[in-house]
A = this chain, B = another copy of it.
Amino acid sequence: MRISALAAAADLPIATVKFYLREGLLHPGAATSATQASYDETHVRRLRLIRALTGTVGLSVQQARTILGLIDDPGDDLYATLGRAVSALPPTTDEASDDDPDPYPRARAALEALGQVYDPHFAAVAQLEAALAATEAAGMPLSDDRLLEYGRRLREIAAFDLERMPQEPHAAVEYTVLGTALYEPVILALRRLAHQDVAARRTLGRR
């Protein structure tokens, strides 16, 4: 298809498609003349991915480029690549100073209590530290039993997610990035709706 049909298929302005081509986020089409190229289904899929990253997920073009680079070239150590890809997603966290021997004490203690891997280079550790500090500042620190309950249920969700991860490395990185970012808002909405449902049944039960 020509670029106009590609833009229509991806529901994007032609100028945006040309911008992604110039920036190297979208691979070139097959040249059909000096000024024209032909695009196929791989381009439509790629544009859908770029749109998800820069639109829904809210990444800058530069951040999207980092993640697309990891999808395109996952390398030999898939585990490390998945960690880097997820660490490139929002929220951004400050990197700890190398001089600080224990930069994330709350997150470290929580992961120890859960019996989970603690790797201070993984951005979600800094994210957990900030989240736990905020609960303390508000006077609602996360109790140990709540940590264990949340940790257990989220580990069940994580095991489900990982079981369904594609084997093929490029697809695995894409699945991990989109599955992390796109399902997070679903999870938060479902928790709020579950609260409502549990509360409604309680209230009805009282009548």
Contacts and interface: CB of A to CB of B under 8 A. Distances in A.
Q: Binding site of A, secondary structure by majority: helix, strand, loop or mixed?
A: helix
Contact of A138 (B49, B151, B194): B49
Copies in the complex: 2
A35 interface: no
Interface stretch (A13-21, A60-68, A127-135): A127-135
Contact of A186 (B82, B150, B196, B197): B150
A103 to B, nearest CB: 15
Given A150-B190, A192-B127, A193-B116, A51 B111 contact: no
B162 A48 contact: no
A180 interface: yes
Contact of A194 (B139, B155, B194): B155
A131 B186 contact: yes
Range for the number of chain A residues in contact with chain B = 35 or more
A188 interface: yes
Interface string A29-58: 000000000000000010011011000100
Nearest to A186: B131
A202 B160 contact: no
Given A128-B193, A138-B178, A192-B180, A199 B155 contact: no
Given A91-B185, A140-B178, 17 more contacts: A48-B137, A48-B138, A48-B139, A52-B137, A56-B137, A79-B200, A122-B192, A130-B185, A131-B182, A131-B189, A134-B185, A151-B190, A154-B191, A159-B194, A159-B198, A187-B187, A188-B188
- Which 3 A-B pairs give the minimum distances between C-beta atoms? A158-B194, A52-B138, A124-B192
